[in-house]
A and B are shown apart, each in its own frame.
Chain A
Amino acid sequence: MGGYRFLEDVAIADVAFEAWGADLADLLTAAGEATFAVMVDLAAVPAEMSHRVRLEAPDPEALLFAWLEELIYRKDVDSAVFSRFAVTVTEGPPLTLDATCTGAPIRQERMPMRADVKAVTYHLFAVERGQDGWQARVVLDI
C-alpha cells in the first residue's frame, strides 16, 4: 500500500511531492499516480488503453527516476494520461520493473486537465528505505 502528498512550500514555480509505499512497487505506483495527478483529475480518466513498461536500473533512485521519465515521455508520445498502475519490481541485480499503465487519450472536453509536466528533476530528489517501507521526494518541472 502506498500514497502521496504534494509539498506546498518546496517548489514555488513547479511541483514537489512525497510518495511512500510498503515496498518499491507500491512506491513507484504512488509516484506514478502523483505525477499524473499534477496533470489531470485521476478519477476522470477512463480505462481505454494500456501500455507496458519494462525498465532496469542499478538502484532504487535510478529506477524511480527512469520510471517517471518514461511516464512523462509516454504522455507526450501517446498524448495520453495514465491513472492506474500495476507494478512489479524484481530485485535482480539489476532492479527490474515491469508495469502496466492504464489510462486514456487526452480529451480536454471530458477530463479536467491541469498543468503539463515537462520533466522529472534531480532537485531534492531522494529515495529512502525506512522501518515502515519506502519514501521518496520528487520535484517536477512544470
Chain B
Amino acid sequence: MEVKTTMEVKRISEYVWEIPPTEKPGMLVPARIIASAELLAEMDRGVFEQITNVACLPGIYRYAICMPDGHWGYGFPIGGVAAFDVKEGVISPGGIGFDINCGMRLLRTNLTEAEVRPRLRELVDGLYRAVPAGVGVKGFVKLSKSQFQDVMVQGAGWCIRNGYGWPEDEGRIEDGGRIAWADPSVISARAVERGIGQLGTLGSGNHYLEIQVLYPENVFEPEVAAALGLNLPNQVVVMFHCGSRGFGHQVATDYLQVFARAMPRYGIRVSDRELACAPFQSPEGQEYFGAMACAANSAFANRQVITHRIREVFGDVFQRDPRELGLEMIYDVAHNIAKVERYTLDGEERELLVHRKGATRSFGPGEPGLPPPFDRLGQPVIVGGSMETGSFLLVGTRGAMEEAFGSTAHGSGRTMSRTAARKKTHGRDLLKRLEEKGIMVRAASYEGVAEEAGFAYKDISRVAEAVEAAGLSRRVALLKPIGNVKG
C-alpha cells in the first residue's frame, strides 16, 4: 500500500499507524494517524509533513495525532490533536485554527419528514432570510462594546439571559457554552472592530445550516438515539456548522504575529511560521489562551442566537410555539479549540493542554463535568459531512480518553480544490440536481455551492467507521439533508 510520504509509517493496529521519532530530526514523540488503510493512502503529503512537525513542539506528550479525516492545514494538519504538559509545553494557534471554536450544533424536533416536506421551501427561505450568511454580512444582534465584552466572558449564557434561547440549552453545550478563562483585556481593538457587527451570522465556505432527516435504517444505536432525543421514525432535525467569524479570525491572526516575535526570546524555532508557539505558562501564552477563550465564547454565542432564529422560523412556518415543536438542543461541540484537561495515562494523572484542530472532543461515560444523560452515555459528537452525503451523530468513549486525548474526527475533509470543484460543476446545475434528489438549497453564492459539492469531499461514512473501529466514538445516527442554507 502506498502512502504519500517517504517516512516510515508503521502499522500499530488495524486503524492506528505511527511514524517513529527517528524519521525527522527534532521529533520528540511519534506521530500517529488514525485511519483505515484506504483513508491513509488518500491522505495528502502535507498531513505527514505537518503531523511530524507538530511532534517536534516543546513539551508535547506521548504522540501527535491525526484523525481519519486529516488533510494539510496551517501549522497543524486539519484533524490534528496534540497534548502538552501544562508546565513545560507550548500553546500554538495553528493547533486551534483561524476559526476559533468552529463547531457544530444539533437541534431535534417533534416533526417528521412528511410534516416538513410540504413546508420545506418556506422553511429554507425563512432560514435563509433569518440567518445572514455569506461574505461580510452583518449580524442580527447589535452590541455595544461593553455588551460584546460580556459575550466574550459569558458565551451562550449571555444570549440566553438576553432572550436568545432557553435556560436548558446551556447544559447541552460543550462546557456549558462558556469557557471560564476568557480575558477581554487581551483582545486587540482590531479584533473587537472586526467582530462586533457579526453576532448572528453563518459565515460562508463550508459553513451551513441543514434540515435533516433520521431514517430508521440510519439509526445505529436506537436506545442511545432515543436517550438523546431521536425517537421518531423519519424525525426532522436541524444541524449547523459555524464559528467565531471575523472576531476569531482576527484573534488568531493577531496572536500568530505576537508569537512570531516572542519565539526567539524563548529559544523556540519552528520549521513552519504557521506553527508559531509560546510556552503555555509565558505571558504571551496565557494571553492567547485568554483571547482564544473570548473568541470561543463568541462562537458559542453565535450558535446560540442562530438557534433562537431557527426556533422562530419553525414557529412562524408551522404557526406553533417552538417548544411545542420540540426544538430542543441535542448538543453543541467545538472542533477548533484548546483545553486544559486531566488524563490518567501511564499510571499517572496528568494535566494536559489539548489542542484540537478540526477534531472534536469525545468524552466517554463517567467523565467528570458531563451532565446527565451524557455522564451515562458519553458526550454526543457531531461530525459534518457534505450536503449530499449527510452527517453523523456519535457518542464519546472511554477509548478516546485512553488513545486520543478524548478526541475524534470532525468532518469529511476535502478531496479536491475549490477551483477544481468549480470547473467540474456549475452551482446552478448542482442546485437543480440536488433538488431532483430531494435536497433544497438556498445559497448566497452559486460558486460557493459548486465548491461544496459532495464529490469534493471524502465519504463521511468511511471516516465515521474508522473512528468507531479505532474505539474513539460510536455511531448513533446518520442524518440525511433535505434542506440546506449556505453562505
Collect the chain B residues with CB atoms within 8 Å of residue A56's CB: none
Chain A residues with Cβ under 8 A from B444's Cβ? 108, 113
The yes or no answer to B398 lying at the interface (CB within 8 A) is no
Which chain A positions have C-beta within 8 A of B73? 13
User: Which residues A68-99 have CB closer than 8 A to chain B?
Assistant: 69, 72-73, 75-81
CB distance from A75 to the nearest CB of B (A): 5
Q: Say which residue of A13, A73, A81, A125 sits within 8 Å of B135 (CB atoms).
A: A81
Given contacts A12-B414, A76-B246, contact A106 B445 (CB under 8 A): no
Q: Kindly identify which residue among A10, A11, A113, A121 contacts B445, using a CB–CB cutoff of 8 Å.
A: A113
A9 interface contact, C-beta 8 A: yes
Q: How many residues of A contact B (CB 8 A)?
A: 38
A106 engages B136 (CB within 8 Å)? yes
Total chain B interface residues with beta-carbon distance under 8 A: 46
CA distance A69 to B250 in the complex (A): 9
Would A40 and B135 count as touching, CB distance under 8 A? yes
Q: Is B24 positioned at the interface, with any CB of A under 8 Å from its CB?
A: no
Considering only residues 1-29 of chain A, those with a C-beta below 8 Å from chain B are: 6, 8-15
| B204 and A116 contacting across the interface, CB-CB below 8 Å | yes
A contact residues vs B (CB 8 Å cutoff): 6, 8-15, 39-40, 69, 72-73, 75-81, 106, 108, 112-123, 125, 141-142
**C-alpha gap A40/B273 in the complex (Å):** 29
Q: Classify the secondary structure of A's interface with B.
A: loop
Looking at the complex, which one of B74, B134, B190 makes contact with A121 (CB distance below 8 Å)? B74
Q: Is B380's beta carbon under 8 Å from chain A?
A: no
- Please give me the 3 A-B residue pairs with the lowest Cβ-Cβ distance, nearest first: A76-B246, A122-B273, A116-B204
Question: Once the chains are docked, how many angstroms separate the CA of A122 from the CA of B136?
Answer: 23
A123 to B274, CA, bound (A): 7
Please name all residues of chain A whose beta carbon is closer than 8 Å to the beta carbon of B256 when the two chains form the complex: 122
22 A-B pairs (CB sep. < 8 Å): A12-B71, A13-B414, A76-B197, A76-B245, A78-B136, A79-B136, A108-B134, A112-B445, A112-B447, A114-B135, A114-B445, A115-B204, A115-B448, A116-B134, A116-B135, A116-B203, A119-B98, A119-B253, A121-B74, A122-B256, A122-B274, A141-B99
- Which B residues lie within 8 Å of A141 (CB)? 74, 98-99, 249
